[in-house]
């Protein structure tokens, strides 16, 4: 039965950057994220025997075959599990700027996994949904759950999935500084491949990840915003450093990205518990205390317009929207 399903974005604090297996999207390292309430995707899937091909309607516009590729990968898996061959109409409403480093693929493919499996009558567990979402986008495996989530890299399709580690029901939040909403010049997928293949810094990045992961999980258990933020900030800078060594070199940073990072450092010197992280895009996410968010946002308005700064709290896992 077709139902609208909602999944929220997640922002990685320990980054996923590099695939061990491209076909099955098996990562080279474990990653850890926080699901946020501010950005999400709603999707509905309708399998229809009269359709001649899969169709994707995103924000009211029919998408081309390139946009459909990841979608059809998930739909094919669902069709195989449900043992039928009907094509599908996928309707999605994206409350996230697409391809701007704000995890739109994470929420989008997680919502699709939930909607497609529901439409096919599959009663998949959260673990199975995480594995399914991963086949469309690696980070989508984490958006099945709310709060802090770890994606176990595993070694194959069966063992690579995410699981929740903490509900984030403590004084932590995030501010998004939107410096650019346009589609980025180098996609996450292409940037990842180029970095793994050519950057001499990549092995050094991988060598430090296990310790980062261990340390941040201890810090989450301690509910220490300063320790969590410091580890996440360092991890993000190390990830972005690998892109500067790629051939040809590239960066996701803009002048405004650097301004935002410097603004966070200034606020930290002034006594606020603030740290930044960035994914494969120019926008900056500020890890902070929920109790200080309004003051920090006001301070950031000295650098950016109010509409560029979006407040977010820890968000829920995947949801079926019964009333839509």
pLDDT band at 147 (very low <50, low <70, confident <90, very high): very high
Please tell me the predicted confidence (pLDDT) of residue 98: 53
Please tell me the predicted confidence (pLDDT) of residue 97: 58
pLDDT band at 142 (very low <50, low <70, confident <90, very high): very high
DSSP-based three-state secondary structure for 20:
strand
Please tell me the predicted confidence (pLDDT) of residue 76: 98
What distance in Å separates the CA atoms of residue 26 and residue 30, rounded to the nearest whole number? 10
Same fold, 4-169 and 173-312: no
Closest CA to 132 of 4, 240, 25: 25
Express each pLDDT in 42-52 by its tens digit: 999 999 999 99
Q: Which CATH class is domain 173-312?
A: alpha beta
Please tell me the predicted confidence (pLDDT) of residue 83: 97
Please tell me the predicted confidence (pLDDT) of residue 105: 87
Residue 121: phi and psi, rounded to 5, are: 75, 20
- Structure tokens that stand for 189 in this block: 């997928």
What distance in Å separates the CA atoms of residue 153 and residue 161, rounded to the nearest whole number? 7
Domain ranges of the chain: 4-169, 173-312
Q: Give me the torsion for CA of 177, 40, 290, 151, rounded to 10°.
A: -100
pLDDT band at 77 (very low <50, low <70, confident <90, very high): very high
Q: Which CATH class is domain 4-169?
A: alpha beta
CB 59 within 8 A of CB 96: no
Q: Give 285's DSSP letter.
A: E
Express each pLDDT in 164-221 by its tens digit: 999 999 999 999 999 977 778 898 889 999 999 999 999 999 999 999 999 999 999 9
Indicate if the pLDDT at residue 101 is higher than 80: no
Closest CA to 89 of 43, 136, 122, 137: 43
């Amino acid at each position: 039965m077709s139902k609208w399903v909602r999944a929220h974005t997640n922002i990685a604090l320990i980054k996923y950057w590099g695939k061990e297996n491209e076909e099955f999207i098996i990562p080279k390292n474990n990653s850890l994220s926080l699901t946020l309430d501010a950005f999400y995707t709603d999707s509905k899937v309708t399998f229809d025997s009269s359709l001649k091909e899969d169709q994707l309607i995103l924000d009211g516009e029919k998408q081309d075959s390139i946009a459909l590729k990841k979608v059809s990968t998930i739909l094919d898996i669902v069709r195989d599990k449900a043992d039928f061959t009907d094509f599908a109409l996928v309707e999605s409403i994206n409350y996230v700027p697409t391809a701007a480093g704000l995890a739109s693929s994470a929420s989008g493919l997680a919502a699709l996994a939930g909607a497609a499996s529901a439409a096919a009558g599959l009663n998949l567990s959260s673990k199975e949904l995480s594995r399914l979402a991963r086949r469309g986008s690696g980070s989508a495996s984490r958006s099945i759950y709310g709060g802090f989530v770890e994606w176990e890299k595993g070694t194959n399709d069966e063992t690579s999935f995410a699981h929740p580690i903490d509900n984030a029901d403590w004084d932590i939040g995030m501010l998004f500084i939107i410096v650019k909403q346009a589609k980025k010049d180098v996609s996450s997928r292409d940037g990842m491949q180029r970095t793994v293949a050519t950057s001499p810094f990549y092995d050094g990045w991988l060598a430090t990840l296990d310790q980062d992961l261990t340390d941040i999980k201890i810090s989450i258990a301690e509910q220490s915003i300063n320790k969590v933020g410091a580890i996440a900030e360092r991890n993000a800078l190390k990830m972005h450093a690998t892109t500067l060594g790629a051939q040809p070199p590239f960066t996701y940073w803009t002048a405004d990205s650097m301004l935002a990072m410097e603004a966070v450092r200034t606020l930290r010197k002034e006594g606020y518990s603030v740290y930044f992280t960035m994914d494969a895009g120019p926008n900056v996410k500020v890890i902070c205390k929920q109790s200080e968010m309004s003051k920090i946002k006001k301070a950031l308005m000295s650098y950016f317009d109010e509409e560029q700064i979006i407040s977010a709290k820890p968000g829920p896992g995947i949801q079926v929207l019964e009333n839509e």
